[in-house]
């Protein structure tokens, strides 16, 4: 018999669930997350904040000591979620910030194993994503200068009495959700990204995809600027050494790297190679290493299609009249004039017992029959 703690008032009571079904979805990433330092690039627990400003945009990322900052490997959960949402929207299905899925679906889609340890690592990632606090002026309106949120507003698992996880659900913040359903803010990425094992090389691929894209001459960065842009805690000299090692190995899918020099300045040129990605739509045509180990990658299918009625009987349901796009009111922070100059300052798995998961009872696909 499944057991779960009594549900309390939450955003999930106001949102209609977007139920993930099986199928294909190309991996997509959100542009803002690719361009600025939102995540720790090391597996070691990080509590030092990221404080970054550039071109009138500010990003602040704060961690709690218990969990540490969300890492660039944890961000695979957000890439997966974005992929599901874009695929469903492209197929004409209604989506929501409230995702319901099986851990097995998520882990296999991003190339992780599905043993007990991997489920524990997933729970640790969700804990970090929820506890990490972001404050940013990106996409701020005329009067709302700063938005504050966590990568996941809340999450819950449904388990049997022996501790086996039957399903999961989480709520994404409005800031991220809006940045995904706006196609101009989404880019397709190479599925081989998930196989990159270092934090800096993962981050560097996202920078390459965002800036170099498919431009024949690529993009040129000063190493010191890349260091600032990364939010890394290592010294500039150590960061430069790691970049040189990455250049020697050439691990980035679809891109070639080259060190150039301009006097005493050390530069990195990123050039497109053979791209296996496809644009999400015409609007996005214009278009990383710590010593940490990635959880993995896959060519597994990633699609998300949502049913218009709740079918997962393991959770009690509440009727939801319409899609709610608003975040909790306390998640927003209004300040005076936006800051004009930019400057920077500036994670470890939790555990529980999980069993292996085959496919789970999420009901029929849209348009299908029971």
Domain boundaries along the sequence of the chain:
13-195+295-333
- Amino acid 14: pLDDT: 78
> Residue 330 above 70 pLDDT?
no
Strand partners, 220: 269
- Band (pLDDT 50/70/90 cuts) for residue 25 is confident
> What average pLDDT does the chain have?
77
Element (H, E) at 101: strand 98-101
Q: Looking at residues 190-196, what average pLDDT do you find?
A: 96
CA–CA distance, 49 with 287 (Å, rounded to integer): 30
Quick check: 314 pLDDT over 70?
A: no
What percentage of the chain carries pLDDT values higher than 70? 69
State pLDDT tens for residues 244-283: 999 999 999 999 999 999 999 999 999 999 655 544 443 3
Per-residue pLDDT reduced to its tens digit, 295-306: 333 333 343 443
Q: Which candidate, 73, 189, 72, places its Cα nearest to that of 122?
A: 73
Distance CA 144, CA 147 (A): 7
Cβ atoms 221, 270 nearer than 8 A: yes
21 or 134, which is more confident?
A: 134
Contact present, 103 and 168 (Cβ < 8 Å): yes
Q: What is the mean pLDDT of residues 110-114?
A: 91
Q: Is the CA virtual torsion 242, 247, 252, 255 positive or negative?
A: positive
pTM attached to this predicted model: 0.72
Give ∠ CA 71-327-322 in degrees, rounded to 5. 120
Return the structure tokens found at 104: 């097995």
Query: Which residue spans within 172-323 are E strands per DSSP?
Result: 186-188, 219-222, 255-262, 265-272
**Per-residue pLDDT at 334 exceeds 50:** no
């Amino acid at each position: 018999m499944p057991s779960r703690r009594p549900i309390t008032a939450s955003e999930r009571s106001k949102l209609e669930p977007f139920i993930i079904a099986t199928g294909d979805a190309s991996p997509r990433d959100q542009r803002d997350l690719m361009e600025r330092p939102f995540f720790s690039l090391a597996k070691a627990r990080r509590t030092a904040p990221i404080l970054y400003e550039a071109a009138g945009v500010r990003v602040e990322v704060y961690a709690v000591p218990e969990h540490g900052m969300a890492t660039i490997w944890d961000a695979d959960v957000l890439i997966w979620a974005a992929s599901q949402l874009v695929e469903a929207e492209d197929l004409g299905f209604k989506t929501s910030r409230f995702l319901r899925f099986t851990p097995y679906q998520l882990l296999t889609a991003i190339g992780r194993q599905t043993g007990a340890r991997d489920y524990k690592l997933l729970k640790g990632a969700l804990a970090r994503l929820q506890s990490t606090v972001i404050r940013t002026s990106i996409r701020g309106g005329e009067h709302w200068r700063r938005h504050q949120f966590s990568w996941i507003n809340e999450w819950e698992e449904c388990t049997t009495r022996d501790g086996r996880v039957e399903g999961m659900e989480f709520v994404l913040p409005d800031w991220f959700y809006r940045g995904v359903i706006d196609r101009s803010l989404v880019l397709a990425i190479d599925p081989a990204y998930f196989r990159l094992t270092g934090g800096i090389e993962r981050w560097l691929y996202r920078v390459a995809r965002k800036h170099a894209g498919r431009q024949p001459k690529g993009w040129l960065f000063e190493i010191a600027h890349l260091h600032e842009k990364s939010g890394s805690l290592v010294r500039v000299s150590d960061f430069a050494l790691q970049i040189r090692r990455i250049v020697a190995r050439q691990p980035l899918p679809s891109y070639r790297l080259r060190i150039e020099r301009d006097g005493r300045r050390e530069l990195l040129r990123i050039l497109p190679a053979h791209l296996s990605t496809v644009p999400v739509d015409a609007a996005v045509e214009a278009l990383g290493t710590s010593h940490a180990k990635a959880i993995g990658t896959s060519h597994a299918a990633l699609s998300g299609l949502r049913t218009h009625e709740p079918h997962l009987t393991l959770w009690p349901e509440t009727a939801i009249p319409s899609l709610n796009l608003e975040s909790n009111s306390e998640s927003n922070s209004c300040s005076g004039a936006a800051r004009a100059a930019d400057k920077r300052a500036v994670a470890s798995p939790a555990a529980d017992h999980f069993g292996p998961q085959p496919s789970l009872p999420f009901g029929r696909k849209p348009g299908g029959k029971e």
